[in-house]
């Protein structure tokens, strides 16, 4: 290191020490930023101001928000900093914009060094006293642990912080106790958890700090604009996608937990069936009997590395289910790792038989898990390359040959994919015309769609969506709705209506939102999503899942509409089919069951604190389970099934059925038995899909209404 470099380091350390005030830190403990990071932050701000869709200027107002966002990202639960720390950080509130424009990262690194010191000291203190603290806990005292800390005030003293940590530790101990953890294993389990967290704290480097500081700013522009450090740039999907030799899940961090954002269609987890969006992963185990390793407090990329693995190997996940009847509930899920294959994401067909008095009306269903296209095969000139549109076109013809009287396109859980395919697919259902408008940050608008007139499917059409239908799914559903080509049913879609590009920086990369999708009617798919014509009940909580659940999501807005043809006047049909839907759902046991579950889930989410009194906690858990059991037995009574005495009884029955099927197959070595078991399982799953059946019923209602009106019109014409 030359003399000039020594002087620069000394000046930076002196500045940092001054800003830290009374806090004493050895110089070796301080994390410093690099010259390449100075250049990177300047480049990043230039790109944000010039290329981001919002055109936000990084000024004093945004600097103030950046400070709050950064502190929140470090200490969301307000467990480390005190009010005195926050008062000291106020000196940075309106100067960070000026500092970063000059490549000065002092504010971010000073705050982080304070945080790291507080965190390390706290973890060391907890570890030092943990066994004695656990042994001394009294679970007969009436006190509670807050679940919602968003409005919590900053602690005024270390004594107040000590009490918060005492209650947090007590809640963790009680939670383990109520999951039947052996008493002598509780302290060692928590000790291992805190040791792992301490180890990670001590491994923080300047790339980690820079990434947190940078993303506290990018997140203010919108939730899909992110800075990726060099490590994350090698695979910028590592923070959310496990579709490559993993379980096929999109993950995100929420406080100290790894949360499932969504599942990759037809991926291992999706096909296994037990992992769901909003489940929180608390432990990961390798193989059928490997030890479950606690991952609470781990970094997301480290959890990803544990979950990933070779094809056909087994991973076990211990999760807190999103629909848990109590917050202490745990479930272990076994998943065989694999790759998501293109052919497994292909569109599939089936036929629904909907009763109409003495008649049966056949309705075709086309399930589209993703908007896919084999670009490599297409570029090679392979005339048989796979794509969503090519597959659906073939299935449409097959279903018409089978005599179906209408089509349901099932887009549930379809997270999107190729924009080209969304446009091409829409072209199968309209003669010609635009499908989507795209507005760039330059405010230039261009349109895409079906440019030439050609034949198309003209029969009755219903599109089924849910909260996890996103992006390309929303473009297709929105176009069908705008053309009044079909009826949209289900739940409000995700609301992902933005387009990102990945741009290189001196150090790392910036994923930035540059464009926005708009429907041909002028409204954006962003934030609002596609609102169904007929709304079905859903278990998905819009406060937890969807674009509107994300901080700083871009708002819904609209631009000029495009002239387009409307194939029907659905305003004359929708009131009637909606009335018929409500009449059916009021007496449909499956719909009543679903609505009861939604109500219970909402009430569970409304619980803001947990008792730390063991009897009160058990009473709360039992109360939740009793309500769930009541809902289950209400359905069983309506459908003539045997009533349960406990929810565990139902789980045992399911396990027994699975074991029996496996036993029959393994003992007899009968391939036919395997096929029959698989067919039975598929039929049972279809029978339980009340939403798909109801989508078919809505189509039949619209079809019959149209036929009745045609008959009346024809009779009057004849008279």
Asked if residue 495 has pLDDT above 90, the reply is yes
- At 110 the pLDDT is 96
DSSP state of 365: E
Asked if residue 684 has pLDDT above 70, the reply is no
Residue 705 vs residue 28, higher pLDDT: 705
* C-alpha to C-alpha distance for 450 and 377, rounded to whole angstroms: 23
Reduce the DSSP state of residue 529 to 3 states and report it.
Answer: coil
Chain centroid to Cα 707, Å, comes to 42
Assign 486 a pLDDT band (cuts: 50, 70, 90).
very high
Q: What is the mean pLDDT of residues 393-421?
A: 95
Q: What is the mean pLDDT of residues 125-137?
A: 95
Q: What is the mean pLDDT of residues 356-382?
A: 89
CA 490-575-710 angle, to 5 degrees, is 110
Q: What is the mean pLDDT of residues 364-388?
A: 87
Average pLDDT, the chain: 86
DSSP H helical ranges for 75-182:
83-89, 96-101, 106-135, 158-178
Q: Note if 668 is an active site residue.
A: no
Strand pairing class (407-410; 359-367): parallel
Assign 484 a pLDDT band (cuts: 50, 70, 90).
very high
* C-alpha to C-alpha distance for 655 and 331, rounded to whole angstroms: 14
Assign 29 a pLDDT band (cuts: 50, 70, 90).
low
Biggest CA pair distance of the chain = 105
Catalytic residue among 266, 349, 496, 516: 496
344-569 CATH fold: 2-enoyl-CoA Hydratase; Chain A, domain 1 (3.90.226)
- At 302 the pLDDT is 83
Q: Note if 496 is an active site residue.
A: yes
Assign 341 a pLDDT band (cuts: 50, 70, 90).
low
Q: At what angle do helices 158-178 and 183-202 cross, to 10 degrees?
A: 130
Asked if residue 404 has pLDDT above 90, the reply is yes
What is the residue extent of each domain of the chain?
3-221, 232-336, 344-569
Q: What is the CATH number of domain 232-336?
A: 2.30.42.10
* C-alpha to C-alpha distance for 622 and 628, rounded to whole angstroms: 10
CA 545-76-159 angle, to 5 degrees, is 145
Host H or E run for residue 691: helix 690-718
**String of DSSP letters for 403-456:** T-S-EEEE-TT---B-HHHHHHHHTTTSSSEEEEEEEETT--EEEEEE-S----
Q: Note if 482 is an active site residue.
A: yes
Residues contacting 545, CB < 8 A, separation 6+: 261, 262, 277, 278, 467, 468, 494
Question: 72, exposed or middle or buried, with CB in 10 Å at 0-12, 13-18, 19+?
Answer: middle
Q: What is the mean pLDDT of residues 5-30?
A: 45
Closest CA to 276 of 261, 266, 265, 286: 261
Asked if residue 692 has pLDDT above 90, the reply is yes
Asked if residue 31 has pLDDT above 90, the reply is yes
Q: Dump pLDDT digits (tens) for 206-252.
A: 999 999 999 999 999 999 999 999 877 655 443 333 344 678 887 88
Whether 232-336 and 344-569 share one fold: the answer is: no
Q: CA Rg, the chain, in Å?
A: 28
Give the phi and the psi of residue 595 in degrees, each rounded to 5.
-65, -35
**Contact in structure between 522 and 60 (CB atoms under 8 Å):** no
Assign 105 a pLDDT band (cuts: 50, 70, 90).
very high
Catalytic residue among 85, 106, 328, 482: 482
Q: What is the mean pLDDT of residues 152-175?
A: 95
Give the phi and the psi of residue 541 in degrees, each rounded to 5.
-90, 120
Residue 288 vs residue 2, higher pLDDT: 288
Closest CA to 117 of 188, 35, 16, 258: 16
Catalytic residue among 471, 515, 585, 697: 471
């Amino acid at each position: 290191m030359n003399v000039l470099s020594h002087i620069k380091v000394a000046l930076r350390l002196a500045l940092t020490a001054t800003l830290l005030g009374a806090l004493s830190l050895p110089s070796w403990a301080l994390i410093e930023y690099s010259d390449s990071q100075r250049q990177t932050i300047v480049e990043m701000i230039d790109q944000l101001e010039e290329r981001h869709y919002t055109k936000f200027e990084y000024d004093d107002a945004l600097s103030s928000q950046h400070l709050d966002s950064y502190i929140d990202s470090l200490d969301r639960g307000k467990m480390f900093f005190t009010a005195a720390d926050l008062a000291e950080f106020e000196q940075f509130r309106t100067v960070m914009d000026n500092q970063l424009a000059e490549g000065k990262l002092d504010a971010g690194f000073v705050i982080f060094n304070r945080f790291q010191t507080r965190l390390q000291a706290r973890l060391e203190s907890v570890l030092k006293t943990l066994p004695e603290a656990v042994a001394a806990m009294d679970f007969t005292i009436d006190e509670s642990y807050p679940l919602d800390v968003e409005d919590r005030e900053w602690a005024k003293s270390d004594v107040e912080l000590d009490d918060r940590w005492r209650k947090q530790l007590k809640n963790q101990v009680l939670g383990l106790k109520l999951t039947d953890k052996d008493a002598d294993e509780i302290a060692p389990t928590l000790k291992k958890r805190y040791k792992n967290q301490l180890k990670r704290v001590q491994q923080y480097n300047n790339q980690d700090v820079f990434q947190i500081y940078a993303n506290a700013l990018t997140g203010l522009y919108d939730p899909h604009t992110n800075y990726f450090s060099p490590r994350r740039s090698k695979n910028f999907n590592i923070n959310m996608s496990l579709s490559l030799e993993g379980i096929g899940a999109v993950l995100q961090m929420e406080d100290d937990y790894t949360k499932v954002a969504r599942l990759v269609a037809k991926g291992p987890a999706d096909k296994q069936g037990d992992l769901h969006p909003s489940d929180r992963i608390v432990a990961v185990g390798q193989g059928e009997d490997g030890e479950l390793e606690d991952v609470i407090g781990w970094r997301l990329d480290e959890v990803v590395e544990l979950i990933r693995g070779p094809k056909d190997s087994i991973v076990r996940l211990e999760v807190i289910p999103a629909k848990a009847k109590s917050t202490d509930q745990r479930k272990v899920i076994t998943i065989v790792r694999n790759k998501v294959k293109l052919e497994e994401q292909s569109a599939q067909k089936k036929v629904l038989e909907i009763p109409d008095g003495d008649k049966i009306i056949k309705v075709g269903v086309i399930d589209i898990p993703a908007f896919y296209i084999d670009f490599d095969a297409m570029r090679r000139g392979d005339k048989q390359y796979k794509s969503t549109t090519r597959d659906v076109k073939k299935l449409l013809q097959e279903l018409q040959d089978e005599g179906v009287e209408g089509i349901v396109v099932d887009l549930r859980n379809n997270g999107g994919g190729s924009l080209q395919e969304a446009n091409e697919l829409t072209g199968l259902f309209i003669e010609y015309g635009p499908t989507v408008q795209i507005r760039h940050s330059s405010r230039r608008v261009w349109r895409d769609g079906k440019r030439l007139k050609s034949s198309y499917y003209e029969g009755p059409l219903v599109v089924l969506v849910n909260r996890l239908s996103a992006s390309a799914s929303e473009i297709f559903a929105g176009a069908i709705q705008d053309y009044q080509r079909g009826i949209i049913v289900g739940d409000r879609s995700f609301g992902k209506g933005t387009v990102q590009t990945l741009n290189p920086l001196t150090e790392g990369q910036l994923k930035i939102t540059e464009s926005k999708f708009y429907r041909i009617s002028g409204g954006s798919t962003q934030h609002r999503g596609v609102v169904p014509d007929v709304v079905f009940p859903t278990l998905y909580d819009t406060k937890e899942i969807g674009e509107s659940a994300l901080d700083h999501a871009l708002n819904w807005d609209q631009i000029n509409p495009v002239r387009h043809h409307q194939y029907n006047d659905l305003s004359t049909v929708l009131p009637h089919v909606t009335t018929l839907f409500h009449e059916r759902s009021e007496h449909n046991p499956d719909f009543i069951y679903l609505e009861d579950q939604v109500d219970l889930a909402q009430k569970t989410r409304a619980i803001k604190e947990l008792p730390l009194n063991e009897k009160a906690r058990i009473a709360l858990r039992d109360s939740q389970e009793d309500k769930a059991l009541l809902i289950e037995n209400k359905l069983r009574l309506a459908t003539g099934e045997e009533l349960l005495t406990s929810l565990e009884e139902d789980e045992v029955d399911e396990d027994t059925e699975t074991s029996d099927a496996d036993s029959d197959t393994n003992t007899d070595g009968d391939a036919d038995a395997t096929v029959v078991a698989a067919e039975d399982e598929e039929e049972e799953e279809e029978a339980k899909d009340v939403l798909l059946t109801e989508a078919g019923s809505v189509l039949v209602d619209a079809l019959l209404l149209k036929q009745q009106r045609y008959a009346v019109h024809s009779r009057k014409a004849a008279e």
